[in-house]
């Protein structure tokens, strides 16, 4: 019985393989170029740049595995050349696969075994887990990532040299990686333009975060006028008659010194990263306030803040704030401030000295605020400056103050009504 003759090898690669080839080529060039400028990026862009670098790396890993699966399952053009030429082509191609798989894999290991566990959200949307590996894997992964990264331009140079060789020979090899309707000249021009664009974007392009999964808009911390406008109390003349009242003779009107916080109140903070301000708010907090202007020694405030409610407008950064290196909300869920006995600094301006409990540390804190009171409604605006390191906020590499200064400003606007 005659055997079925084997099908002839196709003239070019499968369309999906061609698409993945050029997509991966652009991503690899972009990723390498972006990596060159990571250290030069400053401010809030630095955090975004590393998140983008991680997202592109995982994308390259997943697409490379898909490309490898296609190579092993789909028919492909016959291998070209003989002897050393054929062996060199095979070595270069498999070296590319090694870099495309193991470079992002080593980066994933680095992130997973770092002292500071920064969560990864692919393009700000898809949570990506850490590998369950011990810290001992970190340094070998760093070395592997460095070697593989710097091997990439050498392989690209060899690949370009091989393509140039085939173009000069005018053989069919370059055309195998273009669609059938595309001429080799048009394909080469388009490929060069595509790689040039990705290189330019990686080296100096913007770092947009339009795809980021952001928290709801965070209001800017209030700018505190100094001083706030307040009504100047009229000083009665010594000879003036008492103002008539509607109360019966001998009756006393009891005025409550308790106040209820109203919607529209805000508690915010401002830190700096790489010289750029980062503004945030706490979405969940409450306060009990006792205040009468004629009884300041008995005035008091007791506030409780849910630290996990901190929002800076970036979901990744907010998750980092909740981690063990900063607020460590798993162990210290709340911050508390309490003060009793206020001091009048000038009409409408007060100071309160109390204690802040944060991250398991108690420290004295003094706040200064202005107060506008109209009848049973009042608005207080104030601020203070805290030392984050005094409360142990920012450990490991975040304990350094070159990128994140020690001082953090806290601002508040409290709108309240007098309790009945």
pLDDT at 234 over 90: no
Q: Length of the chain in residues, anyone?
A: 420
For residue 235, pLDDT beyond 70? no
Domain ranges of the chain: 15-204, 258-418
**pLDDT for 353:** 93
pLDDT bin (cut points 50, 70, 90) of residue 143 is very high
pTM confidence score: 0.54
Residue with tokens 């790396």: 57
Average model confidence (pLDDT) for the chain?
81
| CA-CA-CA-CA dihedral for 311, 314, 317, 319, to nearest 10 | 60
Kindly report, residue by residue over 49-76, the tens digit of the pLDDT.
788 889 899 999 999 999 988 888 887 7
**Which tokens belong to 322?**
């909740």
pLDDT of residue 363: 93
Which class is domain 258-418? mainly beta
Give the DSSP per-residue string, 105-130.
HHHHHHHHHSSS---EEETTTEEEPP
d(CA 69, CA 164): 28
**pLDDT given at position 116:** 62
Alpha-carbon gap, residue 344 to 332, rounded angstroms: 34
- pLDDT tens figures, 185-226: 888 888 889 888 888 888 887 765 433 333 333 334 344 333
Span 331-340, pLDDT tens digits: 999 999 999 9
Two tokens at 341? 């006995």
Cα 403 to Cα 36, 38, 245, 387, 392: the distances in Å are 20, 14, 62, 15, 16
pLDDT in tens, 251-293: 445 678 999 999 999 999 999 887 788 889 999 999 999 999 8
Q: Is the Cβ–Cβ distance between 332 and 359 less than 8 Å?
A: yes
pLDDT at 251: 43
Structure tokens belonging to residue 57: 């790396």
Per residue in 319-376, pLDDT (tens digit) is 888 888 889 888 999 999 999 989 999 999 999 999 999 999 999 999 999 999 888 8
Peptide bond into 319 cis (omega under 30): no
């Amino acid at each position: 019985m005659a055997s079925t003759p084997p099908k002839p090898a196709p003239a070019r690669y499968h369309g999906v393989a061609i698409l993945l080839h050029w997509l991966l080529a652009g991503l690899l060039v972009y990723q390498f170029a972006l990596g060159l400028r990571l250290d030069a990026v400053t401010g809030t862009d630095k955090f975004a740049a590393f998140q983008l670098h991680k997202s592109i790396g995982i994308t390259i890993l997943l697409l490379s595995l898909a490309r490898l699966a296609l190579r092993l399952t789909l028919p492909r053009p016959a291998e070209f050349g003989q002897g050393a030429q054929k062996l060199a082509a095979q070595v270069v191609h498999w070296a590319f696969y090694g870099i495309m798989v193991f470079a992002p894999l080593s980066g994933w290991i680095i992130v997973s075994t770092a002292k500071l566990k920064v969560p990864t959200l692919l393009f700000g949307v898809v949570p990506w887990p850490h590998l369950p590996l011990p810290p001992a894997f970190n340094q070998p992964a760093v070395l592997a990532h460095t070697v593989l990264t710097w091997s990439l331009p050498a392989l690209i140079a060899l690949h370009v040299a091989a393509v140039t060789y085939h173009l000069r020979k005018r053989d069919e090899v370059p055309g195998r990686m273009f669609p059938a309707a595309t001429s080799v000249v048009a394909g080469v021009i388009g490929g060069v333009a595509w790689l040039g664009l990705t290189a330019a974007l990686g080296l100096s392009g913007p770092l947009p975060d339009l795809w980021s999964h952001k928290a709801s808009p965070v209001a800017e911390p209030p700018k505190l006028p100094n001083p706030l406008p307040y009504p100047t109390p009229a000083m009665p003349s010594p000879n003036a008659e008492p103002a008539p009242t509607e109360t019966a003779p001998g009756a006393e009107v009891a005025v409550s010194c308790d106040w209820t916080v109203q919607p529209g109140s805000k508690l915010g903070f401002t830190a700096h990263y790489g010289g750029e301000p980062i503004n945030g708010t706490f979405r969940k907090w409450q306060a009990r306030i006792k205040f009468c202007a004629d009884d300041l020694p008995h005035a008091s405030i007791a506030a409780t803040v849910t630290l996990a409610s901190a929002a800076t407008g970036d979901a990744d950064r907010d998750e980092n704030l909740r981690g063990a290196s900063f607020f460590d909300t798993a162990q210290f869920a709340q911050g508390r401030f309490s003060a009793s006995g206020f001091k009048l600094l000038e009409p409408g301006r007060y100071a309160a000295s109390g204690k802040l409990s944060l991250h398991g540390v108690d420290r004295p804190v003094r706040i200064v605020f202005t107060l506008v009171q109209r009848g049973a409604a009042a608005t207080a605006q104030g601020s203070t400056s805290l030392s984050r390191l005094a409360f142990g906020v920012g450990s490991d590499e975040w304990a350094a103050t070159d990128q994140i200064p020690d001082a953090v400003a806290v601002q508040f606007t409290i709108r309240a009504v007098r309790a009945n």
